[in-house]
């Protein structure tokens, strides 16, 4: 049994097992799930690079599974994030209903993602892609209100994406007679221009839906918001990366073989940039923490797409670096938000506030998380964004760099809002008894942020496997060392120096603030003098988490008004109305049906020359 079949066998086997154990030994269920993902992670880590590991045929299709550096990178990402999310689930999901269902679908989703990254042919890629879609759909509808509509929207978009991939698949199959990667990569350029271009576009649409690039992102915010938090971490961190995984392959293995490559790249880069900018604005105006993070994810994926689409070695490196990091920090943030939800029962930023003293570890996670997202040194986000800006400037994308930079700056707004609303500000009576979450939930969050810190200081640790993955994509990596990255003009950027300077700066600031705080600080109660003498009542809102960015919203609201989501909804309602009318073709009246038969016969006879080419 080769390693890949082992991995798939273990995850899917464990999926069934957890479902059965749920009814027999519920305790074991969680452990089995964690162990399964841990074990597969270990196998993925140890697995040798072999692009032709498992091979068999189904019908006339060659099914090939193999491991490449590119697959390995994503497989490890899936397993690590999945592992931590499952550890976190143990306490987070405790006491909830239908846990067998939850764990089974969770493991199926993870298994299908493994399947996707190890697929070396389009058939198995599509096969696992669809499994991923329905298992994540079932997790979205696991709970909460609106789950039906949200789940359905997710599925419709996924189906449109998946079927785009499928059309490309049958197109390629009809032209090349095979859809194994070996053959497709080698001969893609030999197909006619139309087929090539349409396959590339269809595949990009397909993968673009999962990576939520605009205008295909509308499913994402709500789906992220209502799925259970541990799964949201995987959803945003790993599942959406499957889209990135696919886009990488399409761009560098297929599209690069045609003359349209440069245009496809350019358009995609701009779509990515606009996605990043608009999603950031949307994120700023969210009042729900998970929705905010969801839009933030969409934005971050926009950066990754920009990086991939620019297509220079440095930009690809930046994109893959950000892809891995995003999984870590957004995973940590979703878990932290989940922890807040776990203790307070809501993720509404207008309701929750002042948790910093009650949940210090969660606060620490969130703080580190937002620092990483914003790209401030010394956390990992800095190195990634640095490389991305450089590659943009180096490849003369000056407008794009402005767009990306603007969105990156605007990101500070929502990140501040996130941390302020949830953790800072006034302590509410309602949440007086809130306690920090258990260690089983803290460890996964903290590990993930520590990872971003380590990678921030020593990006080379992560760039090592990434350069391997880039080798698979056929792009040479740029130079790097463990703690040093080179910029486009050959200058060294030493993370240690940056780390040290930042450390010193923070130290000074810390001392300054503390000293100053001791001098002039005092404890502020709700009935403080700042209310101009009026005594505020208990329920009067004194935090300004509500309508946080009202002026900003007033200024920028018009940009976000023409929502593409509403447009889709309108189409959907109109179609439904049309279908509703259409179904009255079936009137339920036997006489009408008999009429149809007669009319059909008459038409066939009358127009037989037209239809069958023979006059009666």
Partner 1 sequence: MNISPVHFIAVPLLAAFLIPIIGRFSKEFVKVIPGIVLLYLSYVAISLFPVALKTPIVEVLAGWKPPFGISLVYGPLAAYLTALITLMGFVIWVYSYKFIIREPIEKYYMLFMLLITGSTGIILTGDIFNMFVFLEITAIAAYSLTAFLRDKDGAEAAFKYLLIGSFASSFFLLAVMLLYASTGTLNLAEITSKIDSVAMSTRILILILFLVGLGIEAELFPLNGWAPDAYSQAPSPIGAIFGGIVVKAAIYALMRLVFLLFNFSEVFHFLLIMGIITMIVAEMSAMKQQQIKRMLAFSSIGQMGLVIIAFSVGTSDSVQAALFQMFNHAVIKALLFFAAGYLVFHSGSKKISALDGLGRDKPLTSFFFALGALAIIGLPPFAGFWSKLYILISVADAGLITAVVLVLIASVIEAVYYLRVVSRLYFNKESAQETEVRRTPLTGLLAMGVLALVIIVVGIYPDYIWNLLKPAAEELVNKAEYIRIALLK
Assess 560 for contact with partner 1 (CB under 8 A). no
Of the two residues 168 and 410, which places its CB atom closer to partner 1 in the complex?
168
In the bound complex, what is the minimum distance in angstroms from residue 205's beta carbon to partner 1? 13
Instruction: Report the nearest approach of partner 1 to the CB of residue 170 (Å).
Output: 4
Pick 48 or 59: Cβ nearer partner 1:
59
Min dist. Cβ of residue 588 to partner 1 (A): 7
Q: Give whichever of 508 and 598 is closer to partner 1, judged by the CB atom.
A: 598
Distances 170 to 183, 203, 206, 427, 551 between C-alpha atoms, Å: 14, 12, 14, 59, 51
Transcribe 569-613 into DSSP letters: HHHHHHHHHHHHHHGGGS-S-HHHHHHHHHHHHHHHHHTHHHHHS
Q: Are 65 and 4 in contact (CB under 8 A)?
A: yes
Name, in order, each residue with C-beta under 8 angstroms of 490's C-beta and a sequence gap of 6 or more: none
Pick the closer one to partner 1 by CB: 125 or 292: 125
Q: Which of residues 46-105 bind partner 1 (CB under 8 A)?
A: 57-59, 97-98, 101
Q: How many CB atoms lie within 10 A of CB 544?
A: 13
Q: How far is the CB of 21 from partner 1 (least distance, A)?
A: 15
- Residues whose CB falls within 8 Å of the CB of residue 376, separated by 6 or more in sequence, listed in order: 382
Query: In terms of Cα–Cα distance, which of 310, 284, 365 is closest to 84?
Result: 365
In the complex, the smallest distance separating the C-beta of residue 129 from partner 1, rounded to whole angstroms, is 9
By CB under 8 A, residue 24 contacts partner 1: no
Q: Of residues 25, 511, 555, 605, which one binds partner 1 by CB under 8 A? A: 605
Paired residues of 492 in beta bridges = 486
Give yes or no for residue 571 binding partner 1 (CB under 8 A).
no
* Distance in Å, CB of 100 to partner 1, minimum: 9
Could you say which residues in the range 149-168 bind partner 1, by CB under 8 A?
Answer: 151-152, 155-156, 159-160, 163, 166-167
Q: How far apart are CA 146 and CA 135, in angstroms?
A: 18
- φ/ψ of 121, rounded to 5, equals -150, 155
Residue reference for tokens 């961190």 = 237
Residue 16 as a binder of partner 1 (CB under 8 A): the answer is no
- Burial class of residue 55 (count of CB atoms within 10 Å of its CB; 0-12, 13-18, 19+): middle
Spatial separation of the C-alpha atoms in residues 533 and 104, rounded to whole Å: 59
Contact 296, 414 (CB under 8 A): yes
**Interface region with partner 1, contact rule CB under 8 A, candidates 26-34, 455-463, 479-487, 595-603:** 595-603
590 binding partner 1? (CB under 8 A): yes
Residue 90 beta carbon to partner 1: minimum distance, rounded to whole angstroms: 21
**Number of residues that this document lists for the chain:** 616
Give the count of residues interacting with partner 1 (CB under 8 A): 64
Q: Which residue has the tokens 């767009």?
A: 403
Phi, psi of 48 (to 5 degrees): -70, 160
Residue 293 Cβ, how far from partner 1 at the closest point, in Å?
A: 24
Near partner 1 by CB under 8 A, which window of 75-83, 144-152, 324-332, 480-488? 144-152
Q: Read off the tokens for 402.
A: 């402005």
Cα(56)–Cα(71) distance, integer angstroms: 20
Considering the rule CB under 8 A, would residue 20 count as an interface residue with partner 1? no
Burial of 522 by CB count in 10 Å (0-12 exposed, 13-18 middle, 19+ buried)? Answer: exposed
Residue 283 and residue 411 in contact, taking contact as beta carbons nearer than 8 Å: yes
Instruction: State the nearest-atom distance from the C-beta of 599 to partner 1, in Å.
Output: 8
167 vs 556, beta carbon nearer partner 1:
167
Here the tokens at position 542 are: 């004194």
Q: Which stretch binds partner 1 (CB under 8 A): 279-287, 519-527, 547-555, 581-589?
A: 581-589
- By C-beta, is 506 or 596 nearer to partner 1? 596
Instruction: Give the one residue of 50, 62, 69, 130 binding partner 1; rule: CB under 8 A.
Output: 130
Q: Is 1 in the site for partner 1 (CB under 8 A)?
A: no
In the region spanning residues 173 to 232, those forming contacts with partner 1, defined by CB under 8 A, are: 173-174
Minimal distance in Å, beta carbon 132 to partner 1? 10
8 Å CB contact between 475 and 252 = yes
Strand pairing category for 61-67 and 492-494? unpaired
Which residues are at the interface with partner 1 (CB under 8 A)? Answer: 57-59, 97-98, 101, 123, 126-128, 130-131, 133-134, 137-138, 141-144, 147-148, 151-152, 155-156, 159-160, 163, 166-167, 170-171, 173-174, 576, 578-580, 582-583, 585-588, 590, 592-594, 596-601, 604-605, 608, 611-616
């Amino acid at each position: 049994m080769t390693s890949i079949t082992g991995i798939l066998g273990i995850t899917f086997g464990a999926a069934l097992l957890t479902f059965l154990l749920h009814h027999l030994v519920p305790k074991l269920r969680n452990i089995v799930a964690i162990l399964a993902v841990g074990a597969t992670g270990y196998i993925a880590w140890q697995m040798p690079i072999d692009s032709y590991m498992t091979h068999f045929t189904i019908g006339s299709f060659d099914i090939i599974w193999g491991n490449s550096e590119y697959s390995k990178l994503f497989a490890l990402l899936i397993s690590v994030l999945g592992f931590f999310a499952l550890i976190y689930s143990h306490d987070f999901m405790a006491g909830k209903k239908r846990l067998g269902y939850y764990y089974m679908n969770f493991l199926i989703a993870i298994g299908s993602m493994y399947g996707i990254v190890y697929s070396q042919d389009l058939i198995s890629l599509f096969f696992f892609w669809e499994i991923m879609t329905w298992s994540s759909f079932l997790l979205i509808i696991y709970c909460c209100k609106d789950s039906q509509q949200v789940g359905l929207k997710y599925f419709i978009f996924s189906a449109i994406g998946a079927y785009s991939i499928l059309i490309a698949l049958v197109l390629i199959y009809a032209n090349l007679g095979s859809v194994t990667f070996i053959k497709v990569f080698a001969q893609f350029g030999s197909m006619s221009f139309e087929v090539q271009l349409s396959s590339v576009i269809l595949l990009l649409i397909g993968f673009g839906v999962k990576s939520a690039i605009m205008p295909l992102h509308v499913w994402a915010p709500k789906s992220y918001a209502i799925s259970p938090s541990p799964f949201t971490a995987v959803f945003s961190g790993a599942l959406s990366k499957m889209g990135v995984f696919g886009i990488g392959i399409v761009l560098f293995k297929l599209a690069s073989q045609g003359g349209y490559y440069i245009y496809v790249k350019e358009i995609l880069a701009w779509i990515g940039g606009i996605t990043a900018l608009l999603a950031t604005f949307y994120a700023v105006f969210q009042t729900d923490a998970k929705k905010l993070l969801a839009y933030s994810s969409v934005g971050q994926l926009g950066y990754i797409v920009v990086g991939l689409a620019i297509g220079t070695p440095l930009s690809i490196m930046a994109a893959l670096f950000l892809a891995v990091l995003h999984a870590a920090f957004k995973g940590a943030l979703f878990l932290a938000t989940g922890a807040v939800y776990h203790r307070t029962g809501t993720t509404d930023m207008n309701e929750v506030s002042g948790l910093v003293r009650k949940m210090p570890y969660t606060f620490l996670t969130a703080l580190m998380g937002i620092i990483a997202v914003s790209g401030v040194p010394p956390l990992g986000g800095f190195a990634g964004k640095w490389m991305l800006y450089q590659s943009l400037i180096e490849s003369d994308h000056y407008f794009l760099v402005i767009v990306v930079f603007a969105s990156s700056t605007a990101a500070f707004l929502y990140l501040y809002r996130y941390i302020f609303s949830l953790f800072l500000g006034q302590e509410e009576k309602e949440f007086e008894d809130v306690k920090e979450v258990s260690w089983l939930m803290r460890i996964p969050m903290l590990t993930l942020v520590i990872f971003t810190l380590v990678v921030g200081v020593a990006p080379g640790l992560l760039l090592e496997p990434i350069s391997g993955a880039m080798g698979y994509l056929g792009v040479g990596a740029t130079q790097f060392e463990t703690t040093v990255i080179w910029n486009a003009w050959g200058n060294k950027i030493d993370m240690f120096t940056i780390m040290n300077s930042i450390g010193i700066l923070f130290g000074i600031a810390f001392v300054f603030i503390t000293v100053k705080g001791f001098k002039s600080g005092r404890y502020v109660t709700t009935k403080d003098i700042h209310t101009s003498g009026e005594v505020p009542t208990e329920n009067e809102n004194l935090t300004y988490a509500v309508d946080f960015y009202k002026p900003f919203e007033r200024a920028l609201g018009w940009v976000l008004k023409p929502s593409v989501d509403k447009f889709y909804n309108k189409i959907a309602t109109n179609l439904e109305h049309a279908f509703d009318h259409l179904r009255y073709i079936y009137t339920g009246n036997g006489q009408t049906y008999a009429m149809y038969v007669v009319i059909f016969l008459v038409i066939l006879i009358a127009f037989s020359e037209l239809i069958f080419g023979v006059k009666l």
